[in-house]
Structure 1
Amino acid sequence: MKTETVGDAKLETWSPEEVSRAARAGEIVLIDVRTPQEYMFEHIEGALLMPLAFFDAKSLPGQSEKRLVFHCGSGVRSEKTARAAIDAGFDRIAHMEGGFAAWKTAKLPYVGTNMASGAPQKVEP
């Protein structure tokens, strides 16, 4: 994990493996900032959808127990969203380095689309 101080807050950059471990342990709220179309095609199971285009920090869940971790396709949009959340007053924010592409490269499970039926299906590389 990399940490950067932004004002009074800490912006953390987590690896896909760190995000996976924390998600399985119930320690984080994972928020996907990609488009609804990207999310529908494939996403990390349990991730909430809040597209960057519609991002509103007032709609974020509180941080009383769990850290918020943002992710996107490559890490660019999630870092932008994380910085916007910090600007809105959140102080324990993280984003996933490399985004969903890095998640898939790490061979972590996700929900994809069965191209024959169009139905969602678990993908366990």
Structure 2
Amino acid sequence: MKTESLEHGTLDTWTPQEVADAYLKGEIVLIDVRTPAEYLFEHIDGAMLAPMSFVKMHNLPDNDRRPVVFYCGSGMRSRRVAAMALEAGYDRIAHMEGGFGGWKAASLPYIGTNMATGAPHLVQPQAG
């Protein structure tokens, strides 16, 4: 994990593997800030959806109980939403480095769309 001090608080940048390990143990709240269409096509199983365009900082979960970690497609939007959370009063917040692309590059499982049926299914990439 990388940590940096911003004007309004501390931003942590977690690797996809750090996110996966903590999420599996129930230690974090994982929030996808991509669009609903992006989420429906593929997402991390069980991640909450709060699109950047519509996210209301006062409705986010309590960061003291379990850290909130945002992710997007590449890490750009999640970093921006994390900065917005700091501006809104959070003193520490996190996002995932590389976004969903980084998650897939790390060969971590996710929910994808079966192109033949349009149905969601679990994708278990093989590390290679």
What TM-score bracket applies, with the shorter chain setting the length? over 0.9
Residue by residue over 1:64-104, the C-alpha shift from the partner in whole angstroms, topping out at 9 and shown as x without a partner, is: 31000000000000000000001001122100010000100
Structure 2 equivalent of residue 118 of structure 1:
118
TM-superposed CA distance for 1:61, in Å, is: 1.0
Query: 2:90 is matched with which residue?
Result: 90
Alpha-carbon distance in 2 for matches of 1:92, 1:26: 19
- Amino-acid identity (%): 58
Gaps of 5+ in 1: none
Q: Secondary structure at the match of 2:13?
A: strand
Q: Deviations over 1:2-48 (max 9, x none)?
A: 10112462100010000000100101000000000000000001110
Change (3 A) 1:17 1:101: same
Shift of 1:63: 1.8
Q: Secondary structure at the match of 1:115?
A: coil
* Aligned residue runs from structure 1 range 92-107, under 5 A: 92-107=92-107
Q: Which amino acid aligns with 1:72?
A: C
Q: CA RMSD in A?
A: 0.9
Runs of at least 4 residues off by over 3 Å: none
TM-score calculated relative to the size of structure 2: 0.94
Q: Normalised by the size of structure 1, how large is the TM-score?
A: 0.96
Partner SS state of residue 85, structure 1: helix
Q: Which runs of 5+ in 2 are unaligned?
A: none
Structure 2 distance, partners of 1:10, 1:91, is 6
